[in-house]
Amino acid sequence: MKNHKKLIIGISITLSLMVLCFLGIRIDNTDNKKTFFDSTKVYAQTTDDVDEKLNTIMDELEELKKSNPIIAMSSSPYAIVEEITSYDELVNMGIEAVKPMYDILYKRPDAGLYEYILAMAIEEITNQEYIYDVDYGWSNALEFRLCYERKVNNSSDEFEYLMNSNKISNENKKQKITELGVFVVSDLLDELDKETSIFSKEEIETLLQQIIQTVPATHKLHSVETIEEWRVDNEQIYRDLKKLNKTEY
């Protein structure tokens, strides 16, 4: 998905300035590492891991500035993260890391390179495309947040439309629901709990399986695990994806 970005010239210049400012300011690398998310909230362990990865990314960016200044000063964050192994580790933390990362963005008023990298990770983990402008997608973290909220609301509305439509075959509905991805997992779980549905329970479980397997996650739904077993540790994670933009701070 990141290969599909089309950054216009003005955005490239802006991001270049972000890089210059960002690489000149790094997190204090003493024992008092900065904590970006309140660890007293839920996801405490995951939040600690996210904090650690973010500080490591800062360290790697500083080293990149010395070893490869051409890449470090690149106008494209996508070129920069290709050189940072900690970014891949952040993405590989999976879907349970999205809430801590999004809450960091929610609480930070800045829209620099640091926030841009966080937004990139969320985009990659959720396996969704976020469109603020048809010409370039989104250009900063503030635009990404608006895209995220729009995606949440549109996905739920689209799911409801598909379930109630008499003009679309059930097979086409299932294909479109799968394309809606992680943001309709909670809707599918609600549908699974209903006494009656246009889909059988087996069909709903298959849809859940198809969606969940498309994103990084520590606890994926495997064939040897029943949906009820999977729900114990994972249901709230997917429900929280749709509550992030409603969190009060």
pLDDT of residue 171: 96
Secondary structure (DSSP) of the chain: -GGG----HHHHHHHHHHHHHHHH-----SSSPPP-S-TTSSSHHHHHHHHHHHHHHHHHHHHHHHH-HHHHT-S-HHHHHTT-HHHHHHHTT-GGGHHHHHHHHHH----SHHHHHHHHHHHHHHT----SBTTTB--SHHHHHHHHHHHHHHHHHHHHHHHH-SSS-HHHHHHHHHHHGGGGHHHHHHHHHSS--SS-HHHHHHHHHHHHTTS--SS---TTS-HHHHHHHHHHHHHHHTTGGG---
In this model, does residue 125 exceed pLDDT 50? yes
The domain ranges of the chain are: 2-146, 150-246
Supply the pTM of this predicted model.
0.78
Confidence of residue 112 (pLDDT cuts 50, 70, 90): confident
Split at pLDDT 50, 70, 90, the class of 44 is low
pLDDT band at 10 (very low <50, low <70, confident <90, very high): very low
